[in-house]
Amino acid sequence: MKIEKYVDKNINRRKIILVSISVIVLISVSLILYKTFASFTESVEFQVMNGKVDYFGNSDVYFVFYQGDKELDEMPQKDNEENLVFEYGECDNGASIEWNEEEWAPLVKGLNSPKTKCSLFFEEYVPTFDKEVVKCGKAGTGAAECIKNNANLDKVNLMADDTSDANIRYVGATVNNYIDIGDRDGEDNPILWRIIGVMNNITNLDNGGKQESLVKIIRADSIGEYSWDTSTSTINGGLGINEWSQADLMKLLNPQEIYSGISTIGGSLYWNKGSGSCYNTNEEGNTTCNFTSSGISEEAKNKIAKVRWNIGTFVTRNTSEWTASATYKAERESHNGKEECISNGGGNYCNDEVKRTTTWKGYIGLMYPSDYGYAVGGEVRKTCLEKSMYSYSSGSCNTNDWLKPSSSSAFTITPTPGSSNAYNVISVYSDGGVSYSNAHYARLVLPVAYLKSTVKIIDGNGEEGTPFIASLN
């Protein structure tokens, strides 16, 4: 009897030990499994390239897209016209968002609960590229290449035009495109210019007539108001001749080697930092002028290229047809400012004997009408480029164009035909409209030039206080 009881006790003891061991093993395995799975974060990648995911539907994630407080109908596509970029994202239920810029898609992490809502916020990209400009300059990058590089960063103020040359232009009302080319006044203070853009397929006569991409610049401030051209009373009624290759203003801006003969009034005064008399009205009327402080400096001259300029014009002067693109095309065609009045029998205002040309070889000219037209920017750019530049005087085109004259009216380099005259040239008026005017009028003169292909930008960010610094070294 005692032995049986002893055996029963041993059996019970073994059962208790086995049960205890089993419980311990089970708990240990559970802890190991828990710790193993708890150490991983569940993530799900969603390739949402375009469009909004239906509210949950067959998915556990619902995306909503915002620009500020405004909900968008769909996710902005990569390189969208609105220039929207991803700002940040947030999800409920403890999930988080990572953004894959290359794939342009969200990566949802920590998706532990079904029916999770994620909000993606986008904002307009306002470019700031000071560091890139300095980097490109310090690396000794050519000026044209530097501006083209910046165009890849600034999608707002630098845009390609719709011409066959696909030029890169500064556009908008306020742009940071100031450049110091070494031009100095009498007290050695910088005289700043501004970059119109990078013009492609320019015939560089300093480089054997090679077609190149060159930076085109315009002086930031006018050098005064002078005649484009004037003449004696017996030639075109004393109102001037609309041929740039012999114009009085061309002679004022350029070295004497560019034109034949010696001009006793105005000839090369700006180029030579001289003083004397300049034409400013009809019948060769003139006034005193002094460029000893405002003329172009020797250092600046060394950076300016001699190129072939296009000085063609329209067949007629129907201003309703003067869109930027049509004008750009006309500037490069074979029509001149006299052919229409000759075909209509000429007359006392079409009696000059000056040979007309549609190209000119020189250093300093004026802006093209198309330069002004294509400088419009902002939300109105597309609409304005479809309009005649004559109508820029109304609406918002002129207020979104940095080339609009701040006062008075400014000459362009382009003549325009008249049915009974050969003295009209195209001007940008103070109200922002583009139309024809008499060559003898005194208008604002804003010199324009192309930088040599060897010029580099070595510093600056284009702001007026910290302009691009142009150098040949």
Residue boundaries of the structural domains of the chain: 43-124, 130-473
Our CA angle for 401, 406, 409, nearest 5°, is: 95
Mapping DSSP onto H, E and C, the string for 187-241 reads CCCECCEEEEEEEEEEEEHHHCCEEEEEEEEEECCCCCEEECCCCCCCCHHHCCC
What is the pLDDT, as a whole number, of residue 134? 52
What tokens does 264 get?
């006793």
In whole angstroms, what is the distance from residue 228 CA to residue 423 CA? 10
What is the pLDDT, as a whole number, of residue 17? 54
The 10s digit of each residue's pLDDT in 146-190 is: 999 888 878 889 999 999 999 999 999 999 999 999 999 989 999
> Is residue 456 over pLDDT 70?
yes
> Is residue 463 over pLDDT 50?
yes
Q: What average pLDDT does the structure give for the chain?
A: 86
The 10s digit of each residue's pLDDT in 256-288 is: 999 988 888 999 999 999 999 999 999 999 999
The CB-side HSE value for 383 (13 A sphere, CA atoms) comes to 11
- Backbone torsions φ then ψ of 226, nearest 5 degrees: -140, 165
> Is residue 255 over pLDDT 70?
yes
Separation in Å, CA 358 to CA 28, 323, 336, 414, 429: 93, 20, 6, 10, 24
Identify the CA nearest to 470 among candidates 207, 170, 11, 133: 133
User: Is 121 in a helix, a strand, or coil?
Assistant: strand
What is the pLDDT, as a whole number, of residue 24? 56
Report which of residues 473 and 318 the model is more confident about.
318
pLDDT bucket at 15, cuts 50 / 70 / 90: low
What does DSSP assign to residue 304?
B
What is the pLDDT, as a whole number, of residue 35? 43
